[in-house]
Amino acid sequence: MKIASIETFTNEYVGFVRVRTVEGDEGWGQVSTYNADITSQIVHRHIAPHTLGQDASDLRALTQTVLEREHKFPGSYLYRALCGVDTALWDIHGKRAGKSVASLLGSTRTTFPVYASSMRRDITPEEEAERFVALKEEFGYKSFKFRVGRECGHDVDQWPGRTEDIVKRVRETLGDDVTLLVDANSSYTPQKAIEVGNLLQDHGISHFEEPCPYWELDWTKQVTDALDIDVSGGEQDNNMVVWKQIIQNRVVDIVQPDICYMGGITRSLDVAKLAEEANIPCTLHCANLSLVTLFSAHFMAAINNPGKYLEFSIEGLDYYPWQAGLFKPGYEIVDGDLILSDKPGWGIEIDSQWLANADYQVSYNASRF
């Protein structure tokens, strides 16, 4: 199964990748969102030269080849770009086998539970609680995540008192029959994070994501060791050396790689396996409704150590207008569960009009004919 061509269709926010093989296979993937136009250039400069004409039967070997050839460029963009080709190849592997990617990975699940994930800090506690109630009634969500602190906030709240107010307001409004999670996005020093963590524990919050700057592993471990609440993290990390440190030192209770930041399904599976060996659950980060959530659903349905639920963004087109008209069919939530398609590969079609409006580039294997 040799790669004949790699195409990118992109705008500033989203970049789809189509891979075709010499044998006539076709698969769709996606680079990481945001600055996707830049990332797509990386696909053609740094990924395509090492994958065109190569056998794509062994995705781990192909991935290793790319990373070794590009060892002088170990930054985030390389992995964001690699994800586009890797996920397109998983689509091809699924189609060849006549199975969904989840099924190809060994899953028999048809649904997976999700938590309704808020991305907003510009919303009042009252407004957040009200929309959670409405979403619970409409989609049957049983778990919700909201934001506390201020992103990279140096112990400063988004506005004075917001964290205390939103924790109390959401719990009081939704009651005790829902699971609540929070995300701090690198807000706190250890001392402050432990203080906030105790507040969360007092209100039955079960999950405290990225309490400290993610690069301060020792800080995060202090928080994990001090609290009974589950501390999670890892969405920004793509270096396997760092992942080994996180897992071996039990820096967090739950690992949260992001498939698109990691470089695709193949490398994310390596993280999940390391975590499984350490008896640590894996709950992927997938904070928008591009294909990253679809990739994550198939992945979580198949691994041996999935967390309790999958992240599912509740932000619609009013907040993320670039999510409009990307692919079909769209996501379906029933009674708080995401419905998994059993169609081969990813089971979707990229919208033809979106593709027609995107910036296009192609890299060919010179010996494809």
CATH number reported for the structural domain that contains residue 270 in this entry: 3.20.20.120
Task: Classify 251 as helix, strand or coil.
Answer: coil
232 shares a domain with 295: yes
Residue 278 inside a domain? The answer is: yes
Residue 330 inside a domain? The answer is: yes
pLDDT score, position 263: 98
Q: Which domain holds residue 119?
A: 102-339
198 shares a domain with 77: no
What would you measure as the largest C-alpha separation in the chain, in angstroms? 66
What confidence tier does 69 reach under pLDDT thresholds 50, 70, 90? Answer: very high
pLDDT score, position 158: 97
> Any alpha helices (H) in 98-151, and if so which ranges?
101-104, 125-139
| Burial environment of residue 322 by CB neighbours within 10 A (0 to 12, 13 to 18, 19 or more) | middle
pLDDT score, position 367: 57
63 shares a domain with 146: no
CA-to-CA dists, residue 18 to 8, 45, 67, angstroms: 6, 16, 20
What confidence tier does 366 reach under pLDDT thresholds 50, 70, 90? Answer: low
128 shares a domain with 73: no
162 shares a domain with 178: yes
Distance, in Å, from the CA atom of 119 to the CA atom of 117, rounded to the nearest integer, reads 7
Looking at every residue in the chain, the average pLDDT score rounds to 97
Residue 168 inside a domain? The answer is: yes
pLDDT score, position 369: 36
Which strand (E) or helix (H) includes residue 15? strand 15-21
Name which of 205, 291, 282, 208 is nearest 246 in CA terms.
282
Structure tokens at 8: 């990118």
Structure tokens at 359: 């910036």
Question: What global pTM score does this model have?
Answer: 0.96
Residue 346 inside a domain? The answer is: no
| Burial environment of residue 239 by CB neighbours within 10 A (0 to 12, 13 to 18, 19 or more) | exposed
54 shares a domain with 66: yes
Residue with tokens 């060994």: 106
Average pLDDT over residues 328-337: 97
Distance, in Å, from the CA atom of 309 to the CA atom of 88, rounded to the nearest integer, reads 25
Judge whether 266 and 281 are in contact, CB under 8 Å: no
CA-to-CA dists, residue 35 to 9, 38, 42, 267, 316, angstroms: 13, 5, 11, 22, 20
222 shares a domain with 180: yes
The rounded Cα 100 to chain-centroid distance in angstroms is 19
208 shares a domain with 78: no
pLDDT score, position 368: 45
Residue 344 inside a domain? The answer is: no
Residue 9 inside a domain? The answer is: yes
Strand partners, 55: 2
334 shares a domain with 209: yes
Name which of 15, 21, 64, 69 is nearest 46 in CA terms.
69
Residue 345 inside a domain? The answer is: no
pLDDT tens, position by position, 340-362 = 999 999 999 999 999 999 999 99
246 shares a domain with 171: yes
pLDDT score, position 365: 81
Beta strands in 31-173 (DSSP E): 111-117, 143-147
pLDDT tens, position by position, 84-93 = 999 999 999 9
Q: How many domains does the chain have?
A: 2
268 shares a domain with 121: yes
106 shares a domain with 68: no
